[in-house]
Chain A
Amino acid sequence: MSTLEIRDLHVSVETKEGAKPILRGVDLTINSGETHAIMGPNGSGKSTLASALAGHPKYEVTSGTVTLDGEDVLQMSVDERARAGLFLAMQYPVEVPGVSVANFLRTAKTAIAGEAPALRTWGREVKQAMEHLRIDPAFAERSVNEGFSGGEKKRHEILQMELFAPRFAILDETDSGLDVDALRIVSEGVNRAKANTDVGVLLITHYTRILRYIKPDFVHVFVDGAIAEEGGPELAERLEEEGYDRFLTAATA
């Protein structure tokens, strides 16, 4: 059992006008096997939380702590965090021209596992995972994310989640831009990973429709850089009906 613990996290983003505070004291504890949904209006800081956890250099942690089984995550470099078991499925995955998906997956797996995966089993594993996510085998030879459609990019992110078997996965709006079929395929991928590896999931979303496929244990409402309310799955339903108005007034009052 692993625990990812976020305590009173304050984060600023680097802008041309100087550091701009975005996160104002986030507290969150995620255990293996748990699924936490984070919902909140545009610009409330959800992606900032995801990027800060992954160690993006543009985001500066000004105070607070993040630990993974007691280890200080904030002291780790970006690649160290990934090797320690953190995975971020990005809202906007980056194109890497000239680097094939196959080469990328093998290089990353090798880095994360600390040794090259056995050639034969790895090939089979990749092929099967791609099949499950309905990713055409031809994608293996394409450049990472280059010319992928929005939905293809998201499926490629979940492909990695399945293959790299992280301890904690942060999914930043993985459901955005997916049609109904793609949403189901991607959700099945996440659920497979949960079943196979007991991964803890932090699911950032605007919509409850993905929560019909991926059942959250906890729902957190994110407003103005902090968690404004917490509850079970029923909170998501309420948000769908009522929107965020109730919190926004509270935050601006």
Chain B
Amino acid sequence: MSTTTDHSRAVADGAHSHSAGHGVVPVGSRAERLTSFDLADIPVPTGREEEWRFSPVARLQPLFSEDLGAAGVRTTVVPAPEVKVEIVGRDDARLGTTGKPGDRTAVTAWNAFREATVVTVPAEAVASDVTSVRVEGIAKDATALHLLVHAERHSEAVVVIDHLGDATLDETVEIVVDDGAHLTLVTVQDWADGAVHASSHRARLGRDAKLKHVLVTFGGDVVRVTPDATFTGEGGEVEMVGLYFADADQHQEHRLFVDHAVPRCKSRVTYKGALQGAGAHTVWVGDVLIQAKAEGTDTYELNRNLVLTDGARADSVPNLEIETGEIAGAGHASATGRFDDEQLFYLMARGIPEVDARRLVVRGFFAELIEEIGVDSVEERLLASIEAELEKSMSVITGVATREVDA
């Protein structure tokens, strides 16, 4: 028996808790989704497929091609002293262990790369510093990139992957967290305006392994990231935290999938986004599958969107499938709201100028989430980036205000 929910374009506050046992047939169950290493199995999408229905497939077209090069980005790794970095051939046995590609861009990325960058945190090592992976766009040629971040048993590390510049990039990030290891992986999409980026994150967690997956998207023309996490041993814990800020005509899509394949694992998903400007579009899809044997699962996912101006659109689809009655807890919440003018009035009635009041409200919206990240350097950068984004909308707002006064 299983339960599934699908809320597209949630507009009001909706919080749900689930108990298993309602005999609802899952629509497009994640368990049945085709995954494959073989290009022929996953054709070029038309845009009508479930996993592409929100995406601007025309703008992603270059990444559907089988001919992806390697020259569009420069990757620089600055490892913590305890951490090892290698460049390996595609035949390296450590690659491809985190699951098969689940969509067209993932399968083209897998088939195109020749060399991969492997970052290893050795067993029991505790990294004394952040390991930084910088992916810089240097040319617009459609490019494939493959990274593997491997935290061996009982190790601890923070790895930050930074994307900047302009690029057309199809990326795979494999994440292996062995038994008892604690890994924080941060991916920041801070691209220049024209960048087109698809990225498949595939994580595999061992027994008592802990992954904190932090995703931040600010820049780019189209960014589509699909983080998957699969538990392979009991006691695993994954925390997914996401923050995005879309401007006019930007498309930012985050589709995540947590596969509770074994008992007694825990997942927490918290994604928050702000949108401003005509044509800003964000998509959040949160698939969580609790398989029949995954007793004692504890999961909660939440997505909130704050629409700052007219003409922006946020799609939010939490999707929880429960195949067992023996769960510890399962729930989700999704809400998309407009900027609250009453909050603005309250703050301004205390003497705070409009620009500062707006800034306070938006910062407040993201505040808790940023605290959850727990990596100081990343938190500071985020606050600065949010400021920069707000700076843009403020100029729009003050522009509008002046025009109204003039009229």
Q: A residues within 8 Å of B by Cβ? A: 54-57, 77-79, 81-83, 88, 90, 93-99, 103-104, 107-108, 111-112, 143-144, 160, 164
Contact = CB atoms under 8 A, between A and B. Distances in A.
Q: Which 3 A-B pairs have the closest CB atoms?
A: A98-B364, A82-B351, A98-B367
Contacts of B70: none
A83 B342 CA distance: 19
B367 to A, nearest CB: 4
B346 A107 contact: no
A108 B343 contact: no
Nearest to B365: A98
Contacts of A160: 350
Given A111-B350, A112-B351, A98 B366 contact: yes
Given A99-B360, A99-B361, A107-B360, A94 B351 contact: no
Contacts of A99: 360-361, 363-364, 367
A54 B350 contact: no
Contact of B363 (A54, A93, A95, A98): A98
Q: Is chain B's binding surface mostly helix, strand, loop or mixed?
A: helix
A96 B343 contact: yes
A164 B351 contact: yes
A144 B360 CA distance: 11
B376 interface: no
Contact of B351 (A95, A97, A108): A108
B6 interface: no
29 contacts: A54-B349, A56-B345, A57-B345, A77-B354, A78-B348, A79-B351, A79-B357, A81-B349, A82-B350, A82-B352, A88-B349, A94-B343, A94-B346, A96-B343, A96-B361, A98-B364, A98-B366, A98-B367, A98-B368, A99-B361, A99-B364, A103-B360, A104-B360, A108-B347, A108-B350, A111-B351, A111-B356, A143-B364, A160-B350
B32 interface: no
B374 interface: no
B350 A57 contact: no
B350 A90 contact: no
Contacts of A95: 343
A93 B350 CA distance: 12
B305 to A, nearest CB: 14
A81 B353 CA distance: 11
Interface in B135-184: none
User: How many B residues are at the interface, by size bracket?
Assistant: 20 to 34
B341 interface: yes
A46 B356 CA distance: 30
Given A57-B341, A98-B366, A98-B367, A78 B349 contact: yes
Contacts of B360: 96, 99, 103-104, 107
Interface in B298-354: 340-343, 345-354
Contacts of A143: 364
B367 A96 contact: no
A108 B346 contact: no
B364 A82 contact: no
Given A94-B342, A96-B360, A96-B364, 13 more contacts: A57-B341, A79-B352, A82-B348, A82-B351, A93-B346, A95-B343, A97-B365, A98-B366, A104-B360, A108-B347, A108-B350, A111-B352, A160-B350
A98 to B, nearest CB: 3
Nearest to B342: A94
A143 B364 CA distance: 9
A78 B355 CA distance: 13
Contacts of A103: 360
B348 A97 contact: no
Contacts of B366: 98
A90 B363 CA distance: 24
Contacts of A77: 348, 354
B364 A79 contact: no
Interface in B341-397: 341-343, 345-354, 356-357, 360-361, 363-368
Interface string B44-84: 00000000000000000000000000000000000000000
A79 B366 CA distance: 24
A96 B347 contact: yes
A126 to B, nearest CB: 14
Nearest to B360: A99
B117 to A, nearest CB: 37
The listed residue with most B CB atoms (<10 A of its CB), out of A78, A95, A111, is A78
Contacts of A97: 364-365
The listed residue with most B CB atoms (<10 A of its CB), out of A93, A99, A143, is A99
Contacts of B357: 79
B381 to A, nearest CB: 19
A96 B365 CA distance: 9
A88 B348 CA distance: 11
Contact of B348 (A79, A90, A93, A164): A79
A156 to B, nearest CB: 11
The listed residue with most A CB atoms (<10 A of its CB), out of B342, B356, B364, is B364
A50 B352 CA distance: 19
A238 B360 CA distance: 46
A79 B354 contact: yes
A164 B345 contact: no
A106 B131 CA distance: 38
The listed residue with most A CB atoms (<10 A of its CB), out of B342, B345, B360, B363, is B345
A107 B356 contact: yes
A164 B363 CA distance: 24
Contacts of A107: 352, 356, 360
Contacts of B342: 94
A164 B347 CA distance: 13
B353 A79 contact: yes
B307 to A, nearest CB: 16
